[in-house]
Amino acid sequence: MGDPRAAGYWPTPRRIATLSVHTSPLEQPGTGDAGGMNVYIVEVSKRLAALGVEVEVFTRATSSELPPVVEMAPGVIVRHVTAGPFEGLSKEELPSQLCAFTNGVLRAEAANPPGYYDLIHSHYWMSGQVGWLARERWGVPHVHTAHTLAKVKNRLIAAGDRPEPKARVIGEEQVIAESDRLVANTRFEAQDLVSCYDADPARLTVVQPGVDLDRFRPGGAQAADRRRLGLPERGHLVAFVGRIQPLKGPDVLIRALAEEPLRHEDVTAVICGGPSGSGLDRPTALIELAASLGVLHKVHFLPPQTGDALAALYRSADLVAVPSHNESFGLVAVEAQACGTPVVAAAVGGLVTAVTDGVSGVLVDGHDPAGWATVLGGLLRSPARRLRLSVGAVQHASNFSWDRTAESLLRVYREAAAEHRALIAARLAGSFSW
């Protein structure tokens, strides 16, 4: 008999249970707990469905008005699981509701014929805890994507931010040890999983996220995009897009405006996003900071943008700044580059993959506002260099595709399923040995 891991034996899963406990793919990215992971689940789920795999996403219900089941796209449904109060429950409080959430997930499977789900893919550590239990109950492989890691975040913590609790560290260690397969967004995240969590390299696969290249593409109507968004039509624009919290470093951009290389430049910083995480403690902190530095007149705040409006924001900017203290990938950086806008990013985590230094943008060591002002100011004063980076940005972003991401994940699923079947067969053979 041939090797059950060989290509001919790899079964394609019919239906996947995707777990996203703390944030729904239906939520608006850029505020609360919704961010790149939400985009990832939406885009991957739609493309897996296009490849013939049904996807059911389990997420916690945050409103009594939400229907139990919503069709997100053909072949993709979102199940709202009741677990704890609908509103007013922070992400830090959610571990207390994992038992209730797991119960809802198991009940959904129990209402269907045995073997209804072929595989579990959990996103973030709390979902991994649920996936760990469902895997044992259903007898199917469990694939896990961490997206962010507590030990890494604590090592690179921003000033004023809260460290991740010990309970999360322990929870991540358990999930990483028990998952059948681990998917990392970049090779740097894979290295962190091995060095910080003793992950088994044989169970670890790097699958890069993608970008919607149909939506995020270059355009020549910068002035029109600015008018549409209510932004200044004259002068330079540097955009920050993301959740407003210390981890993302929007304060670095505002502080850079007060430094000499930028203080006298005709430049506006556009801060697009909503408060999140520890940023909820002081939702007006950035306004207060800009006022205290005397640069409030150089800052324009926008609520989170979606779809074509987000693409227009990227195109309207001369540069996009991503001064995060940690990123598992950096989806904003790739989206901006796909629109032809060079990115200035911190040289941390996945941003080293998302941005090619000197080709599609510039990577900055550290978060010193003076250093950021020097880099930003130099680029704003050099249109020829920005043009070269713009060309490189589009070319670099073309290497990222959600179709490619989904196809790579499907290979991981097939391998996990084949290995799971081989393990069961080995156990059965052992139980009948004399």
In contact, 426 and 69? CB cutoff 8 Å: no
pLDDT, residue 32, reads 65
- Beta partners for residue 18, in sequence order: 57, 121
| Residue 380 domain boundaries | 220-396
Please check whether residues 87 and 230 belong to one and the same domain: no
Please check whether residues 379 and 404 belong to one and the same domain: no
Rg (CA), the chain: 22
Please check whether residues 390 and 406 belong to one and the same domain: no
Residue 315 annotated as part of some ligand binding site? yes
Please check whether residues 422 and 406 belong to one and the same domain: yes
Residue 317 annotated as part of some ligand binding site? yes
> Length of the chain, please?
434
The CATH number of residue 180's host domain is 3.40.50.2000
Please check whether residues 425 and 375 belong to one and the same domain: no
Residue owning tokens 């959430």: 101
Residue 148 annotated as part of some ligand binding site? yes
Please check whether residues 323 and 405 belong to one and the same domain: no
Q: Is residue 106 part of a domain?
A: yes
The whole-angstrom separation of Cα 29 and Cα 306 is 8
Q: Is residue 238 part of a domain?
A: yes
The whole-angstrom separation of Cα 87 and Cα 24 is 14
Residue 47 annotated as part of some ligand binding site? no
Q: Is residue 8 part of a domain?
A: no
Please check whether residues 149 and 266 belong to one and the same domain: no
Residue 327 annotated as part of some ligand binding site? yes
pLDDT, residue 279, reads 45
Main-chain phi, psi angles of 319, to 5 degrees: -145, 150
Residue 34 annotated as part of some ligand binding site? yes
Residue 33 annotated as part of some ligand binding site? yes
The whole-angstrom separation of Cα 238 and Cα 148 is 26
Please check whether residues 92 and 163 belong to one and the same domain: yes
Please check whether residues 230 and 375 belong to one and the same domain: yes
pLDDT, residue 424, reads 79
Please check whether residues 119 and 24 belong to one and the same domain: yes
Q: Is residue 434 part of a domain?
A: no
Residue 93 annotated as part of some ligand binding site? no
Tell me the average confidence (pLDDT) per consecutive run of 10 residues in the chain, 434 residues long.
45 93 85 81 97 97 92 97 86 91 96 95 97 96 96 88 92 97 96 97 97 92 91 95 91 96 92 68 79 96 91 96 94 97 96 97 97 97 97 97 97 93 78 53
Please check whether residues 160 and 257 belong to one and the same domain: no
DSSP conformation letters of 13-58: PSEEEEE-SSS-TTSPTTSTT-SHHHHHHHHHHHHHHHTT-EEEEE
Please check whether residues 252 and 195 belong to one and the same domain: no
pLDDT, residue 67, reads 94
